[in-house]
Chains A and B, each alone.
Chain A
Amino acid sequence: MAMGSVSDTLWDVVICGTGLQQSLLALSLSRSGKNILHIDPNDYYGGAEAAFNLQEAESWVDRLATEDKGFFRSASITKPDVAGLSFPRAYSLALAPQLIHARSELLSQLVSSRAYRQVEFLAVGSFYIFKAPSGPEQQPSLVRIPSTREDVFSTTAISAKAKRGLMKFLKFVLDYDRLEQRDVWKTFAGRPLVDFLQEHFKMDAELKTYIITLTLSLDGKITTEDGLSTIYRHLTSMGHFGPGFAALYPKWGGISEVAQVACRAGAVGGAVYMLGAGIKSMATATDEVELELTSGDMVKTKLLVRGNESVGDGPSISRLVAVVGVLYLTTMATSNSKEVLSRALESFLSAMDHDQVPQCLYQLYYEQAAGVKQSRLDELTIDLPGPSLSLSMDDLLLKHVREAWKKVASDTADDAEYMIFTDREPVDDDDELE
């Protein structure tokens, strides 16, 4: 904003990190008139939700090998000796390949803030289960999980009895939160969803697998309460933005796209952006924080917002990003999760096309530790929770962003107007109308 150096301004807020949460905060403040300095120690946007081309992925892996910090570890790249890889910038590997359910509050906020215009979303049609070959002569296959009434009617994958059971369950979930219905599952709330499916709905193993898969729970141990709410989200998202899909995926770079768009909105609103500038040291006075940046600049701010970098106590995950198109495989981190993912990739590829198994051209493997789930606010600093490891956008994060926004903008902002902005430029839809 100020044309002088960043040291000449007393900033209203310095935001450190350009991961999803910090970027959404920048978006939410983009019309507040606040003086905002948004920095990131990395030389790329997105933090733990970044997306890399192959070259960037390589330097990321190299850096992790020497620096060993943050949530990521055991990163490695494998390049099978096969031809066919395009140029490095033709690929965008997302560190956070999260689906966004159509009913996610994130999408409503992107729409109401008008930031959505610069993101391209792809529809994620169906969820499939890998079925191992049932005999030596058989081939592995991918079976689609029926998750709407029409689907259940038309599927040939399950028996008539199973259909009735599944239908009954889907109907139940649609108003699981009503008072009478709650009594049905209350006693199971903290217990595994599988138990509830088993004991209350008497589901067979296959149906249970379908349902648990729909929850996108990595270890399958999701509780009944969380499981029901996730399936509710899935069912109500179905068809919301068009027929046949419940979730979206930002093309090009997953969640990193959302972070970038949010940061651009911040910049358009006057925030100053500096990549490759982290916090080297900080000193707090009564009503301001002085920061020494790794870029050498000294800056003063009334408030500092950053991500909590500590490793939390939740389980870690392992990820394999395979370039065959771009495939993302995720599982709970264990001593052999790397082999598990490699084998899963092989099985998956052979199920896609038995005759001509697609070739994997490039693999990025890494493990990611869970972050701290809570935010921490004091007079001068806000620590947002660590990044989410969930396979689908977790709306809880949005709550923390909103809290931070309130703290920064409470003097001038109206809570009812949160993330509601008009288009800055007259929108020209004449392509559609001509």
Chain B
Amino acid sequence: MADTNAPKPSSSVKLVLLGEAAVGKSSLVLRFVNNDFQENKEPTIGAAFLTQKCNLPTRTIKFEIWDTAGQERFASLAPMYYRNAQAALVVYDLTKPTSLIKAKHWVAELQRQASPGIVIALVGNKLDLTSDSAGTAEVSGDGDDNAEDSGDARKISTEEAKTYAEEEGLLFFETSAKTGHNVTEVFTAIANAIPETSLKSARGPGASHAGVSRTEEQRVNLNGPRDSHAKEGCAC
């Protein structure tokens, strides 16, 4: 007697973003969350957390997206950044070879630091700067020196990155935050790849029968029902 009008179960998923400066991490998020793009986006300062829902046929995933903000520049991210992350987007700029090296470094770091079951997607961004962006799906070879002249700034072949992703068991996409190409697909693929078992239900109608776990009971909400400004009250 399934109630077809009942809301789909919803779960939150913590997703972290990693990658060299200026590869387009924040732009991918901006495209995904606001369907927007800014030509000269500033290095990320000030905003480093966003949420966005992703509707799957059988459930809703609410992404809690943690953008990096400064601490990654010298590989100084705090453990709290990785903790409980169920998904990671490791981004490189496919016009910039060093950015793939950096991406590989982050993948290794995630495998060392993050939860064992984390879903990692490797994303080559700025596809619009390559000649195959319009959909003429011709995979370019390595090291075309005249790439930019011919309107193709690609420096990292699809093949190279894809092979690496397969070896490491990563999801792999080439995207353009500018045109929006493949951006939603990345997040949907991640949502689908997260094992059902690792999804903790968000509080809500779908979760109300799950029972309150012991840890949930112990948890304290500092902005709870009590008015924290009522300074002189006392329990005694």
Contacts and interface: CB of A to CB of B under 8 A. Distances in A.
A238 B236 contact: yes
B73 interface: yes
Contacts of B221: 241-242
Contacts of A118: 80
Contacts of A270: 45-46, 70
B41 interface: no
Q: Size band of the A side of the interface?
A: 35 or more
Contact of A268 (B70, B79, B202, B222): B70
Contacts of A110: 222
A263 interface: yes
Interface string B188-211: 000000000000001111000000
A1 B228 CA distance: 35
Contact of B46 (A120, A252, A269): A269
A338 to B, nearest CB: 29
A241 B220 contact: yes
Given A3-B43, A241-B221, A271 B236 contact: no
B37 interface: no
A148 B235 CA distance: 7
Contacts of B7: 434
B222 A116 contact: yes
Given A236-B234, A270-B46, A431-B12, A111 B204 contact: no
A328 interface: no
Nearest to A107: B222
A187 B204 CA distance: 58
Interface string B69-90: 1110111101111010000000
Interface string A420-434: 000011001001101
A326 interface: no
Contacts of A120: 219
B164 interface: no
B224 A274 contact: no
A248 interface: yes
B68 to A, nearest CB: 8
B50 interface: yes
Majority secondary structure of chain A interface residues (helix, strand, loop or mixed)? mixed
Given A122-B220, A270-B45, A261 B228 contact: no
B215 to A, nearest CB: 8
A344 interface: no
Given A235-B235, A236-B234, A431-B202, A242 B226 contact: yes
B51 interface: yes
A225 interface: no
Contact of A432 (B43, B70, B203, B215): B203
Contact of A108 (B228, B233, B234): B228
A239 B235 contact: yes
Contacts of B235: 148, 235-236, 238-240, 243
A121 B220 contact: yes
B222 A264 contact: no
* Most-contacted residue by chain B among A89, A238, A261 (CB, 10 A): A89
A375 B236 CA distance: 37
A425 B34 CA distance: 14
A264 B71 contact: yes
A236 to B, nearest CB: 5
Nearest to A167: B236
A91 interface: no
A123 interface: yes
A241 B222 contact: yes
Interface string B17-52: 000010000000000000000000001011111110
Contacts of B5: none
B218 interface: yes
B200 to A, nearest CB: 11
B4 interface: no
A263 B77 CA distance: 10
Interface of B: 7, 10, 12, 21, 43, 45-51, 62, 69-71, 73-76, 78-81, 83, 113, 202-205, 215, 218-224, 226, 228, 233-236
30 contacts: A3-B21, A45-B79, A121-B220, A121-B222, A123-B220, A148-B235, A235-B235, A236-B235, A241-B224, A241-B228, A242-B221, A243-B235, A248-B220, A251-B215, A257-B80, A263-B78, A264-B69, A264-B78, A267-B70, A270-B46, A275-B76, A277-B74, A424-B47, A424-B48, A425-B50, A431-B12, A431-B202, A431-B203, A434-B7, A434-B205
